[in-house]
């Protein structure tokens, strides 16, 4: 039996207060974690470090650091460094605004110049939202094949544990087709999942899968990426 009238007066008042707080969203944590995520307040010195693993039977691992080095009228400059047994790469990304990339990487570590700028995150992030784009890489000459195309779908929240801790993260799926079609192969197809946490203003985990297909006779699919990225640390700038 769940009849509030059978509780003592003090107990009834306490429960009524709790119900009202939940209805108004004033219980600590009741609604905060799942309200739409606004663009983060970025600072010079903000730094995210990830541990990446890729491959099937023989896997390779590396650490990747993303650090904001400048914020100004021309955008947000991010230094990306990768260190590992088989990967030592330094590159730079430029964001027009948080989540909007003028130049950066969409696949592996190749730096592209996007036209229009690539919307990596469309704020505010909230469950059920979608966005899509077709963008050109200005580093490549225009040719007979199509540009980069993708669709992002925000799927809701999940609890994610990484080396940096446990996060309430919103899950985003990206389905992409790259601009690498040739006379002998179709464009690479990508299926990425990103878990984004409000508390660090960035992804805390990524899962990347991709494949390509040859034209004419050949295997149905040629495996590509089979990678995961986990956040290992986040340092707030001064």
Cross-strand pairs, 70: 77
What pLDDT does residue 232 have?
98
pTM: 0.84
d(CA 226, CA 222): 12
d(CA 11, CA 159): 33
Domains and CATH numbers, the chain: 6-30+41-235 (2.40.360)
What pLDDT does residue 132 have?
98
Residue (of 236, 175, 168, 233) closest to 207 by Cα position? 175
pLDDT in tens, 84-138: 987 789 999 999 999 999 999 999 889 999 999 999 999 999 999 999 999 999 9
The alpha carbon of residue 200 and the mean position of all alpha carbons in its chain are separated, in whole angstroms, by 12
d(CA 182, CA 164): 41
**Cβ within 8 Å of residue 127, ≥6 positions away:** 34, 154, 155, 156, 157, 170
Residue (of 156, 99, 101) closest to 122 by Cα position? 99
Quick check: 82 and 93 in contact, CB under 8 A?
A: no
What pLDDT does residue 189 have?
97
Reading the block at residue 200, the tokens are 């660090």
What pLDDT does residue 7 have?
45
Residue ranges for the chain with pLDDT beneath 50: 1-8, 10-32
């Amino acid at each position: 039996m769940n009849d509030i009238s059978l509780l003592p007066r003090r107990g009834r008042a306490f429960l009524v207060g709790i119900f009202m707080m939940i209805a108004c969203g004033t219980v600590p944590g009741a609604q905060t974690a799942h309200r739409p995520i606004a663009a983060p307040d970025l600072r010079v010195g903000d730094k995210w470090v990830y541990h990446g693993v890729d491959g099937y039977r023989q896997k390779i691992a590396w650490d990747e650091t993303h650090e904001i080095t400048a914020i100004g009228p021309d955008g947000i400059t991010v230094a990306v460094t990768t260190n590992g047994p088989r990967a030592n790469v330094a590159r730079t990304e430029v964001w027009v605004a948080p989540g909007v990339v003028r130049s950066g990487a969409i696949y592996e570590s190749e730096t592209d110049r996007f036209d229009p700028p690539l919307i990596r995150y469309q704020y505010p992030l909230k469950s059920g939202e979608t966005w899509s784009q077709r963008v050109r890489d200005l580093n490549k000459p225009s040719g007979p094949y199509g540009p980069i195309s993708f669709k992002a779908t925000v799927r809701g929240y999940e609890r994610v544990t990484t080396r940096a801790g446990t996060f309430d993260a919103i899950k985003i799926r990206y389905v992409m087709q790259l601009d690498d079609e040739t006379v002998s192969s179709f464009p690479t197809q990508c299926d990425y999942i990103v878990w984004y946490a409000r508390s660090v203003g960035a992804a805390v985990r990524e899962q990347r899968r991709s494949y390509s297909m040859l034209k004419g006779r050949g295997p149905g699919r040629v495996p590509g990426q089979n990678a995961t990225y986990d956040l290992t640390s986040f340092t707030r700038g001064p």
